[in-house]
């Protein structure tokens, strides 16, 4: 099976980035010579032997899902981002860095901190302009954005893109308020399912989503292979 070019990633990182999906839990002959970086996806732990490539990072991605509770939830400190006449974009960037602290683009030592931050800044920019998100809710208190959640909306389900709370405000129920608010928005649009992805090592996120009623649906094993 051949490696598929990841156009967006290639353009952003200025590298030739490819994607390889292992089928039937068996790695085939991988033609990878023309790539700088390959993302390998599988349903179980598999070590590919790629000549002249180094496996720099591995993670287990967890996919959670919950049936949306049909509630009409309204909180005085929750707003859609576009309701603000002005805001500090750097507050959103800092929150995005916090949301990505377990990201493979943060933890893979082959990516620089600058690359990680630029990636998440782009994620925020493209969520604001609706390329990456259909819903952008913020927790706004004392003239500051201390948390946010973004969500893509499909035909019958929503998928959380980013969820973040200021590290100094965590443990105060802001994440719960954001999720309940998002569920209320989705329910009004007749959306019944909410999905979210996190990493197995992110124990805080796993515990939070479990307490919020999400159930683990699938696991995905992801490895990064860099050309030597």
- pLDDT of res. 175: 98
Does residue 15 carry a pLDDT above 60?
yes
Confirm if 121 and 105 have CB atoms less than 8 A apart: no
Q: 200-206: long-range contacts at Cβ-Cβ below 8 A with a sequence spacing of 24 or more? A: 200/59, 200/60, 200/61, 200/62, 201/59, 201/60, 201/102, 202/102, 205/102, 206/62
Residue 154 pLDDT more than 70? yes
48 has a pLDDT exceeding 90: no
Distance from the first to the final alpha carbon of the chain: 22
- Residue the block writes with tokens 């051949």: 2
For the cut 90, the answer to whether the pLDDT of residue 172 exceeds it is yes
Lowest mean pLDDT among 44-48, 54-58, 118-122, 193-197: 44-48
User: pLDDT tens digits, residue range 99-116?
Assistant: 999 999 999 999 999 999
Mean pLDDT over residues 147-173, rounded?
96
Given this model, what pLDDT does residue 49 score? 80
For the full predicted model, state whether its pTM sits above 0.75.
yes
Residue 225 bridge partners (DSSP)? 38, 55
The partner residues of 196 in beta bridges, in order of sequence, read 64
CB 148 within 8 A of CB 135: no
Q: In the prediction, which pLDDT does 179 show?
A: 97
State the pLDDT at residue 79.
97
- Please name which of 162, 172, 192 lies closest in space to residue 66, comparing C-alpha atoms: 192
DSSP SS3 for 227: strand
pLDDT value at residue 70: 83
User: Chain-centre distance of CA 143, in angstroms?
Assistant: 27
Under the banding of pLDDT at 50, 70 and 90, the label for residue 30 is confident
pLDDT(28) > 70: no
Say what the pLDDT of residue 69 is. Answer: 84
Count other Cβ atoms within 10 Å, centred on residue 187. 17
Hey, is 119 helix, strand or coil? Answer: helix
CB atoms within 10 A of CB 170: 16
Average pLDDT, the chain: 94
Reported as a pLDDT band with limits 50, 70 and 90, residue 27 is low
3-state secondary structure of 55: strand
pLDDT of 47: 80
Question: CA-to-CA distance for 62 and 198, rounded, in angstroms?
Answer: 5
């Amino acid at each position: 099976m051949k490696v598929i070019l990841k156009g967006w990633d290639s353009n952003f990182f200025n590298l030739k980035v490819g994607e390889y999906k292992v089928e039937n839990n068996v790695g085939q002959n991988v033609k990878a010579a023309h790539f700088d970086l390959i993302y390998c996806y599988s349903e179980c732990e598999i070590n590919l032997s790629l000549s002249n490539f180094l496996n720099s990072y591995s993670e287990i991605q967890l996919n959670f899902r919950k049936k949306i509770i049909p509630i009409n939830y309204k909180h005085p400190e929750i707003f859609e981002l576009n309701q603000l006449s002005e805001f500090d974009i750097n507050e959103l960037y800092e929150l995005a860095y916090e949301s990505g602290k377990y990201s493979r683009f943060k933890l893979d030592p082959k990516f620089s901190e600058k690359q990680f931050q630029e990636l998440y800044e782009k994620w925020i920019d493209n969520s604001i302009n609706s390329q990456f998100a259909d819903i952008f809710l913020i927790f706004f208190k004392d003239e500051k954005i201390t948390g946010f959640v973004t969500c893509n909306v499909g035909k019958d389900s929503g998928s959380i893109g980013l969820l973040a709370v200021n590290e100094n405000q965590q443990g105060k129920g802001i994440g719960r308020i954001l999720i309940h608010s998002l569920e209320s928005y989705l329910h009004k649009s007749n959306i019944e399912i909410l999905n979210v992805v996190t990493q197995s090592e992110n124990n805080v996120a796993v515990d939070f989503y479990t307490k919020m009623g999400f159930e683990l649906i699938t696991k995905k094993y992801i490895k990064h292979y860099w050309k030597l």
